[in-house]
Amino acid sequence: MESDFKVLIADESHFLKNAQAKRTTASLPIIKKAQYAILLSGTPALSRPIELFKQLEALYPAVYKNVHEYGNRYCRGGVFGVYQGASNHEELHILMKATIMIRRLKRDVLSELPLKRRQQVGITCLMNG
């Protein structure tokens, strides 16, 4: 099934950290179907590398395809699939920079940005069922 979206931009993508959350289960199929997807977040992982997995999987499933392999490599393994720790930080950072991550610090780009402008756009969401 082809997506209606050529480009999808999702701000505050760190909210996709919980694989079982309704927001995540509703958003990820749409992100994966888009021709291009850009996930934005000032804090993509709040405390543990496992919080990044769903974002990484959505953007680059060929590399980030298995939560257990990812968890064992970057989250110090886990008991019964619960990944709480962190390991191989530098390797993960290098891999992310090579595949999906562009990082800009506010202090480096603030002078290049226009003034803030806010606009509310209403949308209608049709639900099946």
Dump pLDDT digits (tens) for 86-106. 999 999 999 999 999 998 888
Q: How far apart are CA 39 and CA 15, in angstroms?
A: 11
Sign of CA dihedral 116, 120, 12, 95: negative
Q: How far apart are CA 87 and CA 82, in angstroms?
A: 14
Nearest residue to 10 (alpha-carbon basis) of 26, 21, 84, 108: 26
Quote helix, strand, coil % in the chain, to nearest 5. Answer: 40, 10, 50
pTM of the model: 0.76
* Placement of tokens 């402008």 in the chain: 117
pLDDT number for residue 3: 61
List beta partners, residue 36: 7
- Please give the chain's pLDDT, 129 residues, in tens: 456 789 999 999 999 999 999 999 999 999 999 999 999 998 888 789 999 999 999 999 999 989 999 999 999 987 887 898 999 999 999 999 999 999 888 899 999 989 999 999 998 888 876
